[in-house]
Amino acid sequence: MAKIEVDPERCKGCLLCAEFCPKKIIKASDTLNSKGYYPAMQIEPEKCIGCAICAKMCPDVAISVFK
Ligand code: SF4
Ligand code: SF4
């Protein structure tokens, strides 16, 4: 099991991370950040394999992966 953390203030809600996550466990949160975007969040962290594809895809370097 691994865990990701999204920095909600860096995230612009493009959801590229969600699109490329092989486990499909990232979705938009329902809380706006200060720039008016819905930042990504991880759901079902028990399914995360720590591949870090999400972090690599993020154009804003908003994701950290912890294994
Ligand atoms: S790819 Fe980065 S900026 Fe885009 S939604 Fe995911 S965390 Fe946010
Ligand atoms: S580390 Fe891999 S499995 Fe985990 S949320 Fe990111 S893309 Fe998905």
The confidence score (pLDDT) of residue 1 equals 81
What is the residue range of 60's domain?
3-66
- CATH number of domain containing 11: 3.30.70.20
The string of pLDDT tens digits covering residues 1-18 is: 899 999 999 999 999 999
Q: Please check whether residue 55 is in contact with residue 4, taking contact to mean a CB–CB distance below 8 angstroms.
A: yes
At 13 the three-state DSSP class reads coil
How many domains, the chain?
A: 1
The confidence score (pLDDT) of residue 41 equals 97
User: What is the distance in A from the centroid of ligand 1 to the CA of 9?
Assistant: 10
Distance CA 1, CA 50 (A): 7
Q: Which two tokens stand for residue 41?
A: 């969040």
The confidence score (pLDDT) of residue 38 equals 98
Q: For ligand 2, pick from 47, 65, 67 the residue to mutate: most ligand atoms within 8 Å of CB.
A: 65
The string of pLDDT tens digits covering residues 17-45 is: 999 999 999 999 999 999 999 999 999 99
